Amino acid sequence: MAELLGTSKESFIASVRQSLGRTGGEPDERYAPLQEDLSSLEERASNTLERLKKDRGRLVEELARVAELQGWKVCQAANSEATLDYIRELLQETKAKRVVRSDQEIFRQVPVDELLEGMGAQVQVMAREQSGDGEFDPASAELGITGVDYAIAETGTAVLLPRKGISRLVSLLPPVHLALVRPTEVLESLDDLYLLRRLEYHRNGGDMGSYMNFITGPSRTADIEQTLVIGAHGPRETHMVILAQE
Amino acid sequence: MAEVKTQEFQRASVKALADAKLQSLLGRSMGTFDGARQEAIEELTPQRWEEMREKGRAIKRHTLDNLDYYLELLYDRVTQNGGQVHFARDAQEARNIVGQIARSRGLKLAIKSKSMVSEEMSLNPYLEEMGVEPVETDLGEYIIQLAQETPFHIIAPAMHKTKEDVSQLFEEKIQRPNLKNIEEMAGAAREVLREKLVNADMGITGANFLVAETGTLVLVTNEGNGRFCTSVPRVLVSITGMEKLIPSLEDLGVFMRLLPRAATGQRITSYVTHVSGPRRSDDEDGPEEFHLVIVDNGRSRLLQDPDLRESLYCIRCGACLNICPVYHKVGGHAYGWVYPGPIGAVVSPVMVGLNKAKDLPHASSLCGACRDVCPIKINIPRMLLKLRTQLAESSDSTQRKVSIGEKLMAKGYRRLMSSPKLLSLTHRLGRLAQRPLLRKGLIRTIPFPPFSRWTRSRDLPPLASKPFRQIWAEKLGKER
């Protein structure tokens, strides 16, 4: 049972209605997007996916180009060996000893644990169940590695949907974040993303999960004399590896 | 409610104009913002930008015209997501709601990401009084919290501080002496704030958008503090004005293209955070409780007036501040309340009371630049005129701006301009009368009222030796 604080919903909305001179009910003009039914949404989404599939090569290039502009360091890996090479170099450069990652399917494809542990780093999955043995405090990790749910070429954005196995903090606490992107996850535009999420919401009977994060390059601030400083509360360095097409 | 100093606009402006340091800062920074905005629009293409503006405006108009419906929908969907929605008619009620949530759960440390509505409410002093420590975590907001000041600009709250000011402030307030460059200062704030960010039990945020369809709150940020505020604390309270609604999740495609470009000239900000309720049972982290506080605090008065309603379309990008010749000179504090600049000159008088802010609708040359840069095409000059009319026609003599003298002058002017003979005579007399006043070709001071007041901050160009009518008669008219 929700607690009643402040003004009741009924009375608040009634007063808004009175200010507008409306009598209630549906909007004066129908708002087309909200009238759309599930099958129309599904159709649009499937057309979108078709288009993305056709354009995948171009979109991967565009993602790499824009992401670089937005402050990511981008690697387009030619093969799985190249992906591991990049991660190896990143570990050497950052001298990271403690690495956190999320628990995502992509790590079955990219075996970072073996690689990093082989180089003497500790790797910890950041999740409630795993954190019990506490090899190290996740807050002290120097590198965080995640997959993505989507990547948007238009804006150079990695989209993460935190949920089971995927903590909100892996891409936030450490000073360096590495995002692994599969070509199949690349979308062309913001519109593609919002359409797919909207479909998800309605297909699940009104739920799309608690959180969706857009990450576009490193954290930054220009709050003192409009001078850009890279690295505010989030990572100061962000790397994106786009895996080779399978 | 936040202390209202809108009555002091004139005095505050004069003070700002005399402040050489402030003038130099304003001169340096204001162009930077608008330059970035223009580049971002070029990159998107101006045609596409226009298309987005039209769409954005249509969406906002529809939503505000049917706000009761969308509030109802938002309430249902946030509740369905497991969140709680509270409604506050005014600032005090909003404060009480936040206070009751904190008190009943024994919360002690609140990390805040930028919220203009919490400034309207003066939330920080209220929380402090009840034993909750509020910490602003946006760097600009943190600086002004330490300085115990109010935001100077909607998106750059500490714009009026030099790095020397910040260095001194950090030495005095957080014992971090000898910080020389800006990077070090940002680093010091990062270290001090990190400890708060990971230990807080309460997160307080504003909202850039509220999606009615999915019950989603959207935060657009660059620093990452907004992500901490929505991820770490066990209770999340988001406070927002009721005008932030948009109907559909897909509408965000439009606003995500408009807001970052108009505000900072970015294609997109480093982070856009979408919160749809508290953590789900198998989520690894996130708040256990999500409260959304929807605040009126004078907005229904804007909603009620069809001529002023479009002021609620504002997405708080700050572009109108960055282009405004008045803001360029007087800065943000002169406006005397939470919202400065052209949009502030419209919303503040209605929210705090027109009789307390008579000067604000006049703090504009009506040049129209604000309307031209507005990503939602809000017609600010039209609304300023409307407020001026309200002031001039008010039956309450304390609200009336126009003095008897001014009315007499307007009458005289009308008489003068409708008689060519009288105009010609006045011109000749005026030329003689102005002679003793001329200094280097300009009239710097007229030593008697009411003109002395006018020339106190302005120079008057003298009457021309040959009036235009004469030039026309001798030359131009014949060429036709």
Return the higher-pLDDT residue of B392 and B117. Answer: B117
- Distance, in Å, from the CA atom of B139 to the CA atom of B118, rounded to the nearest integer, reads 16
Is residue B320 scored above 90 in pLDDT?
A: yes
Give the residue on B whose Cα is nearest the Cα of A191: B253
Is residue A216 scored above 70 in pLDDT?
A: yes
Percent of chain B at pLDDT exceeding 90: 82
CATH number at residue A140: 3.40.50.10420
Which residues is B236 bridged to in the sheet?
Answer: B203, B290
Residue range A9-32: average pLDDT?
92
Which contacts of A123-128 are long-range, i.e. CB under 8 A and separated by 24 or more positions?
Answer: A123/A99, A124/A98, A124/A99, A124/A100, A125/A100, A125/A101, A125/A165, A126/A100, A126/A101, A126/A102, A126/A167, A126/A169, A126/A170, A126/B284, A127/A102, A127/A103, A127/A164, A127/A165, A127/A167, A127/B284, A128/B284, A128/B285
The band of A51, judged by pLDDT with boundaries at 50, 70 and 90, is very high
Phi-psi region of A134 (alpha: psi -120 to 50; beta: other; left: phi over 0): left
- Report whether B346 contacts B380 (CB < 8 A): yes
Q: Which residues 288-317 of B are in CB contact (within 8 Å) with A?
A: 293-294, 296, 300-301, 303-304
Does residue A25 lie within any of the structural domains?
no
pLDDT tens digits, one per residue of B271-280? 999 999 999 9
Which amino acid belongs to residue A102? S
- Distance, in Å, from the CA atom of B370 to the CA atom of B325, rounded to the nearest integer, reads 10
The mean of the pLDDT values for chain A is: 94
Tokens representing B446?
Answer: 């007229």
pLDDT tens digits, one per residue of B210-223? 999 999 999 999 99
The band of A130, judged by pLDDT with boundaries at 50, 70 and 90, is low
Which superfamily does CATH assign the domain made up of B6-299 to?
NagB/RpiA/CoA transferase-like (3.40.50.10420)
- Distance, in Å, from the CA atom of B332 to the CA atom of B351, rounded to the nearest integer, reads 17
What is the tally of structural domains in chain A?
A: 1
- A210–B140: do the CB atoms touch at under 8 Å? no
Residue range B161-187: average pLDDT?
95
- Distance, in Å, from the CA atom of A197 to the CA atom of B129, rounded to the nearest integer, reads 42
Is residue B105 scored above 80 in pLDDT?
A: yes
Which of B220, B240, B218 is CA-nearest to residue B291?
B240
Q: Is the ipTM of this complex over 0.85?
A: yes
Is residue B465 scored above 90 in pLDDT?
A: no
Does residue A30 lie within any of the structural domains?
no
- Distance, in Å, from the CA atom of B46 to the CA atom of A153, rounded to the nearest integer, reads 20
- Distance, in Å, from the CA atom of B80 to the CA atom of B298, rounded to the nearest integer, reads 29
Give yes or no for B211 touching A (CB within 8 A).
no
The band of A1, judged by pLDDT with boundaries at 50, 70 and 90, is very low
- A210–B227: do the CB atoms touch at under 8 Å? no
pLDDT at B444: 87
Q: Which residues of B touch A190 (CB under 8 A)?
A: 252-253, 256-257
Is residue B401 scored above 90 in pLDDT?
A: no
pLDDT tens digits, one per residue of B326-345? 999 999 999 999 999 999 99
**A&B contacts, CB < 8 Å:** 272
Q: What is the CA radius of gyration of chain B?
A: 26
Does residue A189 lie within any of the structural domains?
yes
Strands of B347-461, DSSP E: 438-439, 442-443
Distance from CA of B66 to the nearest CA of A (A): 5
pLDDT at B396: 67
Does residue A101 lie within any of the structural domains?
yes
Which of B238, B340, B338, B334 is CA-nearest to residue B298?
B338
Is residue A172 scored above 70 in pLDDT?
A: yes
Note down the domain range covering A211. 36-242
Give yes or no for B139 touching A (CB within 8 A).
yes
The band of B455, judged by pLDDT with boundaries at 50, 70 and 90, is confident
Distance from CA of A100 to the nearest CA of B (A): 14
Q: Give the CA-trace dihedral at A5, A7, A9, A14, to 10 degrees.
A: 180
pLDDT at A29: 82
Is residue B21 scored above 90 in pLDDT?
A: yes
The mean of the pLDDT values for chain B is: 94
C-alpha distances in Å from residue B21, one per residue of A93, B27, B149, B172, B180:
43, 10, 17, 21, 19
Distance from CA of B366 to the nearest CA of A (A): 28
Greatest alpha-carbon pair distance for chain B in Å reads 88
In chain B, CATH 3.40.50.10420 sits at 6-299
The band of B480, judged by pLDDT with boundaries at 50, 70 and 90, is low
Give the residue on A whose Cα is nearest the Cα of B95: A6
Return the higher-pLDDT residue of B449 and B292. Answer: B292
Does residue A16 lie within any of the structural domains?
no
Peptide bond connecting B157 to the previous residue in cis, omega within 30 degrees of 0: no
pLDDT at A132: 46
